[in-house]
Amino acid sequence: MTDVKLPLRSRVDIRALEDETRTGRRRDVLAAAAAAVLFAVAAVVGTLIQRADHSLYVDWAPLYADWLPHVGPGTPAALAVAAAVVVHGPRLAARLPWRGLLGAVWAAAMAWIWSLALVDGWQRGVAERLTARHEYLRGVDRFHDIGAALRGFTGHILLTQPDHWPAHIAGHPPGAVLTFVGLDRLGLGGGGWAGAFCVTVGGSAAAAVLVTLRALGRE
């Protein structure tokens, strides 16, 4: 059997590609480690501040959340989606064309979000999420005159100001609440439509990451 030797340039190119791959992996590990350290520091510092004077109003710093492990209607779907992505995701990612990959990633992200939300059922997990007293939908009816509402927007941000906005409206630029105002005017008002919109648009973030990496030449 005769050994086939690659041209010198090809061997150099392969070696350079392998070096670049190793460098990229090291950077990924460092970035993940830095994120983990940042989260840990925020958790420790936040917990100390909360225990000292309760000024953060969060019991699981840095997350505004409660520790409440439980199962529900969406649990089987969440487990199925996770297993399917782990088992079939890499193979599909290697075989699908670019646009097909973006669509598959978006669909998988939405399936994952929907399944997690539905662990709490439709009402608590989706329809009522944006109707609580601090949420966006509580202020939609104050935008009958959008221009006037925007001109006076900053006059209702602070809790000490008269007729102040709900917390989420006050804490974000008005474009956020105007999204739900627009849905309402299209006949898609209420928590169900708002929740579905957030899941659909939020799931696109996974596809957006791929588009960004491709634009940066990091496919």
pLDDT beneath 50, residues of the chain:
6
Contacts 24+ apart (CB under 8 A), 179-184: 180/130, 180/136, 180/137, 180/140, 181/140, 181/143, 181/146, 184/140
Extents of the domains making up the chain: 1-68
Owner of token pair 């102040």 = 164
Q: What is the pTM of this model?
A: 0.78
Give the CB-side neighbour count of residue 61, counting CA atoms within 13 A: 18
pLDDT for res 13:
64
Token pair 């799931």 in the structure block, residue: 203
Whole-number pLDDT of residue 98? 95
d(CA 18, CA 21): 5
pLDDT in tens, 178-206: 999 999 999 999 999 999 999 999 999 99
The answer to whether the beta carbons of residues 185 and 145 sit under 8 Å apart is no
Model pLDDT, residue 20: 73
Q: In sequence order, what are the residues at sequence separation of 6 or more whose Cβ sits closer than 8 angstroms to the Cβ of residue 104?
A: 92, 96
Residue 129, pLDDT score: 93
Calpha distance 40→46 (Å, rounded):
10
